[in-house]
Amino acid sequence: MLIDSEKLQQFVSAIFVSGGAEFSVAQETAKHLVLANLKGHDSHGVGMVPTYIQNLRAGTLNPTAHAKTIRDSGSVILIDGQFGFGQIVGKEATDIAVTRVKENGLACIGLRNAHHLGRIGTYGEIAGAAGFVSMHFVNVVGHEPRVSPYAGTEARLQTNPFCCVVPRDRNEPIVLDMATSAIALGKVRVAYNAKKEVPDGALVDHEGNPTNDPRVIYEKPSGTLGPFGKHKGYGLAFMCELLGGGLVGEWTMQPDNQRVGTIVNHMLMVVLDPDLFGGHARFQSEVSSMIDYVQSTQVAAGHDKVRIPGEPELESMEDRLSNKIPIDNTSWNEILDAAKLIGMQPKDIDRLTI
Ligand code: NAD
């Protein structure tokens, strides 16, 4: 089916209000998820709603929690998300970072105990819109691992996202925002629900053989998701685990820590004002000259153009704002079931979806 983004946001917001969230919290969380769909990341869009409702009902997602500062050393701040919606505590932590960068030029924020932060680029884009550079190292815990280290056949990590954003004058920022696994786990879920295969090189089965079948992640016998780029992707995933998880969250995937079937993200975020270095104008001049230079290469066979990071998301958004957001039947039925489970009346579901 195809659904309009505004209508989808209002429906998802109503589901979260039924789950006990304040209207503004529900709206912000729904907006983040729908924006992920608009930007082409269905893996981190409204398809996450059933998981959020499951965790909310299990008490591992607190719909009323907000970011709480637990240590403030000026430019370095430790914030506890108290297992609130990641979309809320992540935005609150980013807003604190932007305020501090305006005062001090630099902010290093550790956000621990956030429920799923969703699309990490959302936070980088807030910093980018304010004219700042930002870097994000995130780990993912609270459940069994799914990602194997390079040269290993057993899962030891999760999809640990990394994000880096560079601001541009009069333009959307450059946004590199990615899972460190070969593909995001949510993309395996979307393929599983749509009964499709995943691309080559992403999954291995329980015997370590390459496979395109997403069932190895959701059914027994279990396979694993590999890192992107062999040892390099694994290395970055490991750093996200140590910096986001070990340093900030004090909670990594190692087996002494709890795994209760929920999703917890810890994030190390460094935000800085380019004026701290050579100054805004010179930086912007190098950024735009470099974009021109990179895009001046001849285009390789099978491609239409050279893009800069963040460009595919902008193209997707333009398309989906006009042509609506596609959602497969399994994912849509799971969202409807989640709405019923959390107590929405059928007449309200119909009013918001038909
Ligand atoms: P992806 O592979 O689609 O894109 C990764 C990056 O590459 C993006 O910055 C994109 O703009 C860029 N890119 C894509 N195609 C390009 C091209 N042709 N030329 C130039 N640049 C290009 O993203 P992904 O790895 O599937 O991650 C999807 C989302 O999942 C991200 O938003 C990430 O934050 C999120 N995520 C979140 C969690 C979590 O626990 N919260 C975990 C993993 C991933």
The pLDDT, as a whole number, for residue 186 is 84
The CATH number assigned to the domain with range 65-181+229-298 reads: 3.30.1370.60
- Fold category of 1-64+324-354 in CATH: Hypothetical Oxidoreductase Yiak; Chain: A, domain 1 (1.10.1530)
The pLDDT, as a whole number, for residue 207 is 87
How many angstroms does the Cα of residue 344 sit away from the middle of ligand 1?
A: 33
The pLDDT, as a whole number, for residue 238 is 98
In testing the pocket of ligand 1, which one of 55, 91, 178 has its CB within 8 Å of the most ligand atoms?
178
The pLDDT, as a whole number, for residue 188 is 92
pTM for the structure as a whole: 0.96
Low-confidence ranges of the chain (pLDDT < 50): none
How many angstroms does the Cα of residue 331 sit away from the middle of ligand 1?
A: 20
Cα–Cα dist 216/239, whole Å? 26
Pick the CATH number of 190-225 from 3.30.60.50, 1.10.150.120, 3.30.2320.50, 3.40.50.720: 3.30.60.50
The pLDDT, as a whole number, for residue 278 is 84
- DSSP code of residue 199: P
- Residue 65 CB–ligand 1 contact under 6 Å: no
Q: Where, residue-wise, is CATH 3.30.60.50 in the chain? A: 190-225
- Residue 187 CB–ligand 1 contact under 6 Å: yes
Q: Where, residue-wise, is CATH 1.10.1530.10 in the chain? A: 1-64+324-354
Q: Half-sphere exposure of residue 74, counting CA atoms within 13 Å on the CB side?
A: 4
Instruction: Annotate 331-350 with DSSP letters as a single string.
Output: HHHHHHHHHHHTT--HHHHH
How many angstroms does the Cα of residue 161 sit away from the middle of ligand 1?
A: 8
- Residue 119 CB–ligand 1 contact under 6 Å: yes
Q: Where, residue-wise, is CATH 3.30.1370.60 in the chain? A: 65-181+229-298
- Residue 136 CB–ligand 1 contact under 6 Å: no
